Amino acid sequence: MSQDASEATGPRGFIVWFTGMSGAGKSTLSRAIRDRLQSTRSVEVLDGDEIRTFLSRGLGFTRPDREENIRRIGYVARILARHRVAVISAAISPYRDSRNEVRRLAAEEGIPFIEVYARASLEVLVQRDVKGLYKKALAGEIPHFTGISDPYESPESPEVTVRTDSETVEAGVERVLATLRARGLIA
Ligand SMILES: Nc1ncnc2c1ncn2[C@@H]1O[C@H](COP(=O)(O)OS(=O)(=O)O)[C@@H](OP(=O)(O)O)[C@H]1O
Ligand SMILES: Nc1ncnc2c1ncn2[C@@H]1O[C@H](COP(=O)(O)OP(=O)(O)O)[C@@H](O)[C@H]1O
């Protein structure tokens, strides 16, 4: 049986939900935010790569598979947030409907949900090519590659947009933290 979260004490949980294309900076910003918060509270990063190894193994990159991946991450995020963890999700989550569904389910439980759009131009992403995937995708070697051979639906009204092609990591982190502070979620 699960513990009644209302019996626990400490700051309330919330979900910071990153979205953005591969190489946009979701992992970098998530880890930096975790580093800033972890001395004062419980915090967990749900990183795309790790999730796909342990929770969503076997899922690919078709729309139904990505939707299932996001549904699972959202489920775990809500469980953690219920127990007062600051949850940071760093999956691409390219579909607006999937993100909005996670937001809706969080809202049903009164869990604050902060959508953060990690945004950079395709030109910069291709220049960065952190994992060498853009080169392959542009050569037609990766079907369903987000932004090249698969859609990316940018958020319509994210709580925060971080332009990682023109802002420093530190500035992006500060803006996310400022939003959390303004909502009374962190000190
Ligand atoms: N076809 C295709 N499209 C996009 N990304 C691909 C693809 N194939 C492999 N990868 C690698 O998988 C990481 C994205 O997985 P996610 O779980 O975040 O994707 S999703 O949210 O389910 O859409 C993504 O990681 P990040 O670069 O950290 O975003 C890629 O490294
Ligand atoms: N302002 C910034 N914010 C985040 N990442 C940045 C920024 N400027 C440059 N980068 C670099 O861009 C890359 C982003 O990679 P990563 O965080 O793995 O992206 P993602 O998780 O979205 O795939 C890293 O090499 C990071 O150092």
Closest residue by Cα to atom 2, ligand 1, is: 145
Stretch 93-111: mean pLDDT: 98
Asked whether the predicted pLDDT for residue 40 surpasses 60, the reply is yes
Q: Which helix (H) or strand (E) holds 113?
A: strand 113-119
pLDDT score recorded for residue 9: 73
Closest residue by Cα to atom 25, ligand 2, is: 130
Closest residue by Cα to atom 12, ligand 1, is: 49
How far, in Å, are 66, 95, 159 from residue 62 at the CA level? Answer: 6, 11, 27
The rounded distance, in Å, linking the Cα atoms of 92 and 161 is 14
* Residue boundaries of the structural domains of the chain: 5-182
The rounded distance, in Å, linking the Cα atoms of 118 and 88 is 13
pLDDT band at 99 (very low <50, low <70, confident <90, very high): very high
Among residues 39, 93, 121, 149, the one annotated as catalytic is 93
pLDDT score recorded for residue 47: 94
CA angle 38, 70, 7 (to 5 degrees): 45
Which residue(s) pair with 51 in the sheet?
none
CATH architecture group of domain 5-182: 3-Layer(aba) Sandwich (3.40)
Q: Is 27 in the pocket of ligand 2 (CB under 6 A)?
A: yes
pLDDT score recorded for residue 7: 52
pLDDT digits (tens, 9 = 90+) for 148-173: 999 999 999 999 999 999 999 999 99
Q: Is 118 in the pocket of ligand 2 (CB under 6 A)?
A: yes
pLDDT score recorded for residue 3: 47
The rounded distance, in Å, linking the Cα atoms of 116 and 72 is 19
Q: Which residues' Cβ are closer than 6 Å to ligand 1?
A: 22-23, 27, 48-49, 52, 61, 66, 69-70, 91-94, 131, 133, 142, 144-146, 150
Contacts of 156 (CB under 8 A, 6+ apart): 96
The rounded distance, in Å, linking the Cα atoms of 182 and 114 is 12
Tell how many helices (H) and how many strands (E) occur in the chain.
7, 5
Q: Is 1 annotated as a binding residue?
A: no
pLDDT score recorded for residue 8: 60
The ligand that comes nearest to the alpha carbon of residue 27 is 2
Closest residue by Cα to atom 4, ligand 2, is: 25
Give the predicted TM-score (pTM) of the model: 0.96
Mutating to test ligand 2, I would choose from 124, 129, 130 the residue with most ligand atoms within 8 A of its C-beta, which is 130
Edge to edge, what strands does the sheet with 43-47 contain?
A: 43-47, 86-90, 14-19, 113-119, 160-163
Q: Is 10 annotated as a binding residue?
A: no
Q: Residue 93 catalytic?
A: yes
Percent of the chain with pLDDT over 70: 96
In contact, 5 and 106? CB cutoff 8 Å: no
Asked whether the predicted pLDDT for residue 139 surpasses 80, the reply is yes
